Structure 1
Amino acid sequence: MKNEPISKTSLTDWARVDAMEDHDIDFSDCPEITPEMFERAVVRRGLRTIRPTSRVTLQIDQDVLDWFQAQGQHYQALINTLLRAYMEAQRQTRQST
């Protein structure tokens, strides 16, 4: 079975959806979400964004590497995420000055 839509044309009236206000939405068929449900909720990472990557050799202090490796098998992706966040913060700082 393929993961392709049955119809290539959407049957959704998107103009009507865009025009709806919050109070127009019918939630009668949705179960109520309680505070207890939120307490047990688990945040999961979304789909991975495909970006071109480069393999590099980087000198990192051993204790820093040990800490990242202790975070789990995707420690390299975590390092990349933190470097990206730092880069974006620096860009914003430089643009605002």
Structure 2
Amino acid sequence: MATFDPEIHDDNPPLDAAFMAGMKPSRRGRPKLDAPKVEVKIRLDAKTVEHLRDSGPGWQTRVNALLGKMVEAGQI
């Protein structure tokens, strides 16, 4: 069995204090949003939800946009 020879495997930097000081934690996943959405629970009439779902994919995004416009206009 062969033994480890550092002369052969010198392509890796030494893991000394100077090397470790330059390390940065890795960021995984999506970047954090400046204004993340908040999950809420709301109870609506069954007919209202059925109508919204029947409008197709993206209905929740459309409802959010409409509510946002109403808030900006001072309607709610």
TM-score, normalised by the number of residues in structure 2? 0.50
TM-score, normalised by the number of residues in structure 1? 0.39
